[in-house]
Structures are given as C-alpha cells and as structure tokens.
Amino acid sequence: MKNNNEQELMEQKRSIAAIATPVGEGGIAVIRVSGKDAFEKVNAVFRGKDLTQVPSHTVHFGKIVDENNLPVDEVLATVFKSPRSYTGENTVEISCHGGVLVTQKVLETILETGVKAAEAGEFTHRAFLNGKMDLDQAEAVADIIHAKSIKAVDAAHQQLEGRLGQHIKQFRQQIIDATAMVELELDFIEEDVEFANKEQLMKLLVDVSAEINALLETYETGRLVKDGVKTVLIGRPNAGKSTLLNTLVGSDRAIVTDIAGTTRDTIDVDWNYEGLLFKLIDTAGLRETDDIVEAEGVKRSQKAFEQADLVVYLKDLSHSFTPQEREEIKTFQQRAGETPFILIGTKADIEQKTEWRTEFDLKISALSGDAINTLKATLKERALENKHYDASSLLVTSSRHRDALKKAEEQVQAAINGLKLGMTGDFLSIDLRAALNELGSITGEITNEHILDSIFSRFCIGK
Ligand SMILES: Nc1nc2c(ncn2[C@@H]2O[C@H](COP(=O)(O)OP(=O)(O)OP(=O)(O)O)[C@@H](O)[C@H]2O)c(=O)[nH]1
Ligand SMILES: [Mg+2]
C-alpha cells in the first residue's frame, strides 16, 4: 500500500487533458494533453503516425478512435517535447472539429486511456512548477484572458514578458547586498566593529525603498487599467443621465422617458474608449421621495457615488438652478475629495438663457451630439489625471503584488529606522529577510499551496 503522500505525488504527476477552447460551435476545437506519458496515451487512440517517434513541434493528421476502433473524429495532433512546451512536459495539442459533442467525445476517449481531467489553471500551474514562468507571469496569462480593454492587455503583456519580475529581482538583489553588509558586521561583533560602511548601507536601503515606492505608485493607474474606471453618472431626475449612458455606449441600454424618476436601480455598462475600459454606472435621479422603490434607488446612487473612480454630475440646462440644487452640487464636489469630479450641463440644444454663475466643465447635447466627443476625451483625461501613465511604463495591476510590495517597503523602512537608532545587525537582518520573503512571494520564489490554489483557481479549465 502506498501512503497518502506518495499517492498524491503520483496523482500530481499524472498526465492531464482538457478542452482548451471555449465550449460552443466553431471551426476547430483544441484538446490539450500534457504529462510524462502524454505521447503514449494519445498514441493509443490515434491512428496515423506513431506520435512517440515524431520530432518535436510537428503536426500530424490522423484519427482518434474509440475502443472498438471506430473513428471519433479526424484531427491534427501537434507534438511538443519536454521541456520545449507551455507546461515544460510532453504535450500534444489535438485540433478536432469544433462541435460541442465531438470535442467532448475526443476528450473522453483520451481520458479513458487513464489521463486525468485537468483542473482550472492546471497547465499553467505545471508551467510554474516546472520553472517555465514566474508566478507573476502565470498571473499575467490569466489577466490577458480576462482583459476587457486593450490597455489591460498591454499591461498584462508587460508582466508576461517578465518586466515586473525584473524589478522584483533587482530589489531583491539590492536587499541581499544590504543583508550581506549587515551580516558581515555580525561576524565581527565580538571585535566591536561598527558597520564597515554605515552610510553605504543607509544609501542602499533608502534607494531601494524609493524604488519600491515608485513602483507602488503605479498601482492606482494599474487598477484603473485592469478593472476599468468606475464612472458614476449622477444628478437630479430627468437630467439626461440615462440618455448620456446610451449615447456613450451607442445602444439603448437604459430606459429613457420624460418622466422624472425613470431609472430606479443602478445600471452598469462596460464602455471601451481608446483602449481604456470605463464601467459606466447610471443611477436613479437624486431627490426626496416617498416612493419606497425610488428611495432605495437614490440610496444606491449615493453608494455608487462613494465607490466611484470618476464622478460625472449632470445638470439639465433647460431649467435654472434651484438653491437646493446649487448646494447639492457643492456638497457632492466636496465629498468627492480626490476623486475627479466633472460637472456637465446637459440638453444644450434647449438651454435656458440664464446667468448660471457656475463653471460647467462642458455643455453637451445628447440629442444633437454636441460636444459628445469632447466629453469622451475629457472623461479619459480626468480619469487618468495625476496618475502616472505612459503607454510603455510598467504598471502594478494586482492587489496581491501591491500588498507584498507595500509590506516589503515597510520592512525596509523598519531596517532604515533601526539603523538610525543604532540597532544591532541581527535586528536589521530580521527586517531585511522579511522584506526578501515578501518580494519572493510575488515571483513565486517563496510561496505556499494556499496562495497557488487561490491564483490558479481563477483560471479557466484548459489553461
Ligand atoms: N432636448 C434634449 N432632451 C434630452 C437630452 N438628453 C435627454 N433628453 C430628454 O430628457 C428626458 C430625461 O432623460 P433621461 O435620460 O431619462 O434622464 P435621467 O437623468 O436618466 O432621468 P431619471 O432616470 O428620471 O433620473 C428624456 O425625455 C430625454 O429624451 C438632450 O440632450 N436634449
Ligand atoms: Mg435615468
């Protein structure tokens, strides 16, 4: 009897298979098989060339057959020999006809040879374990798949290319150098040798702290690029919020009527503009109301406002301001704090000629299309204002990476403070080693099953 651990290990080493393309009807579907005996397993149900004998990176036409030797489908099998494959293991990619049932049948035929059905992200998990990529690169693969805007794809590509990893490795090296200096001092402690070069050590730590902080600062932009800019449209009933939402996305997503109080619940719509994703949120018009449903809607408008990355307040220009409305705008402006706030005058086509005594950022007409393009550009500009962004720069987009960087920086800072206070090397060394661990958790040099499971469970099956 094998013990549990051994069994588990064998299970982990078994070849795996999964459908790598989305379920549905298409020209082709791809079934991926990976593992030590992937070639033998596929070969057992493949009629064509002997796949165990063909060179790596070659494609072969043949048939997958069932236990009665009857054809399941005509396929192309692409062979990748270890370690030159995505997972680093022997891999076969079988392209079959893209029908739901036929694809399932090909997969089942492969599984019947004793291959295990892959779990979500298991191919990439294996790629990580086999040293084909760092953990942050594996995460970038999922980010590319889930990306909802071109900028999010770009950011993920930077990470996949290893640019984040390069920074992390550089930080780690700097801290290792600092640790070496500290520990050198430890060796001489009996002889009461002061740090050979305390200033040099201080400079090293201050530099690395500043560099980690500079990278951390990109997170605000990274988050917007990856998750989208939560853009909340608020204002009084009938201000034209739903009309603007429909105009921006180019379809009638929200109901528009001339009845004040039409929108009752918040409506979220994804809108891509020049590669950036905006999560537009239409809200119920703000007013005091006895209607229970509408009152709940207004509450939700407030909540959406509080969570916004960008606030667009709409004021109907065909009606002059009530004093209450003027107050309301001021309050919202103040409450927005650091969140960009844009004041838009709507219905410019029927604007009432009046002395507004209020600076509108822009006056638009959804009806005539006036200034809509300027508004789009303004939304993008304001969303990224005060944010570090240039297309080629590396962005931290994951909260996991942000948290680890932050903790690492705090540990470096603790070492800096310790050094200032004249603490002994053994204390400083503890801080620096903790910083190294945090940085190592980003690239996966230091990790645990719990982190890995939570990362790879985000993947789809077949990736
Ligand atoms: N003339 C003109 N009318 C507009 C314009 N934009 C919206 N309207 C009209 O204003 C009315 C209200 O528009 P909505 O988009 O429903 O306003 P809302 O702010 O969503 O209103 P609630 O959902 O009730 O809070 C509708 O009759 C629209 O057709 C515009 O640019 N010009
Ligand atoms: Mg509405």
* pLDDT tens, residue by residue, 431-445: 999 999 999 999 999
> Of 86, 118, 150, which one is at a domain's C-terminal end?
118
Residue 196, pLDDT > 80, answer no
Nearest ligand to residue 284 Cα? 1
Same domain? 243 vs 329: yes
> What is the pLDDT, as a whole number, of residue 313?
98
Same domain? 270 vs 368: yes
Per the domain annotation, does 357 fall within a domain?
yes
Same domain? 17 vs 162: no
Per the domain annotation, does 390 fall within a domain?
no
Residue showing tokens 């979220």: 268
- The domain tally of the chain equals 3
Each residue of 267-276: pLDDT tens digit? 999 999 999 9
Beta bridge partners of 34: 16, 91
> Of 336, 357, 383, which one is at a domain's C-terminal end?
383
Ligand 1: which atom is nearest the Cα of residue 263?
Answer: 23
295 Cα: distance to centroid of ligand 2 (angstroms): 14
Residue 448, pLDDT > 90, answer no
Cβ atoms 360, 354 nearer than 8 A:
no
The residue range of the domain holding 446 is 139-218+396-456
> What is the pLDDT, as a whole number, of residue 32?
98
345 Cα: distance to centroid of ligand 2 (angstroms): 16
Domain at 290, CATH number: 3.40.50.300
Same domain? 212 vs 254: no
Domain at 76, CATH number: 3.30.1360.120
Same domain? 212 vs 242: no
Average pLDDT for 307-323: 95
Same domain? 301 vs 379: yes
Residue 9, pLDDT > 80, answer no
Same domain? 107 vs 170: no
> Of 383, 407, 425, which one is at a domain's C-terminal end?
383
Q: Percentage of the chain with pLDDT > 90? A: 82
Q: Please, which pLDDT band fits residue 463 given cuts at 50, 70 and 90?
A: confident
Residue 97, pLDDT > 70, answer yes
Per the domain annotation, does 192 fall within a domain?
yes
Ligand 1: which atom is nearest the Cα of residue 243?
Answer: 15
Q: Please, which pLDDT band fits residue 189 given cuts at 50, 70 and 90?
A: low
Residue 1, pLDDT > 50, answer no
Same domain? 229 vs 282: yes
Per the domain annotation, does 126 fall within a domain?
no
Rounded Cα–Cα distance for residues 308 and 93 (Å): 44
Nearest ligand to residue 371 Cα? 1
Per the domain annotation, does 200 fall within a domain?
yes
Least confident of 197-206, 272-281, 341-350, 408-417: 197-206
> What is the pLDDT, as a whole number, of residue 449?
86
Ligand 1: which atom is nearest the Cα of residue 256?
Answer: 16
Radius of gyration of the chain (CA): 29
Residue nearest to atom 27 of ligand 1 (CA): 258
Average pLDDT for 447-458: 87
Same domain? 207 vs 251: no
Same domain? 172 vs 203: yes
Average pLDDT for 357-364: 93
Per the domain annotation, does 173 fall within a domain?
yes
> What is the pLDDT, as a whole number, of residue 391?
65
Residue 191, pLDDT > 60, answer no
Each residue of 24-72: pLDDT tens digit? 899 999 999 999 999 999 999 999 999 999 999 999 999 999 999 999 9
Q: Which of 427, 447, 457 is nearest to 134 (CA)?
A: 447
- The one-letter code for the residue type at 169 is K
Per the domain annotation, does 74 fall within a domain?
yes
> What is the pLDDT, as a whole number, of residue 221?
92
Q: What average pLDDT does the structure give for the chain?
A: 92
Q: Pocket residues for ligand 1 (CB within 6 Å)?
A: 235, 237-243, 256-258, 260-263, 284-285, 346-347, 349-350, 365-367
Nearest ligand to residue 259 Cα? 1
Q: Which of 184, 432, 215 is nearest to 440 (CA)?
A: 432
Same domain? 46 vs 181: no
From 232, 236, 238, 294, give the residue whose CB has the most ligand 1 atoms within 8 Å, as the site to mutate: 238
> What is the pLDDT, as a whole number, of residue 234?
97
330 Cα: distance to centroid of ligand 1 (angstroms): 22
Same domain? 234 vs 314: yes
Q: Checking DSSP bridges between strand 341-346 and strand 58-65, what pairing results, if any? A: unpaired
Find how far residue 183's CA is from the centre of its chain.
39
Each residue of 110-157: pLDDT tens digit? 999 999 999 999 999 999 999 999 999 999 999 999 999 999 999 999
244 Cα: distance to centroid of ligand 2 (angstroms): 9
193 Cα: distance to centroid of ligand 1 (angstroms): 77
243 Cα: distance to centroid of ligand 2 (angstroms): 7
Per the domain annotation, does 388 fall within a domain?
no
Q: Please, which pLDDT band fits residue 460 given cuts at 50, 70 and 90?
A: confident
Each residue of 372-395: pLDDT tens digit? 999 999 999 999 987 766 667 789
Domain at 403, CATH number: 1.20.120.430
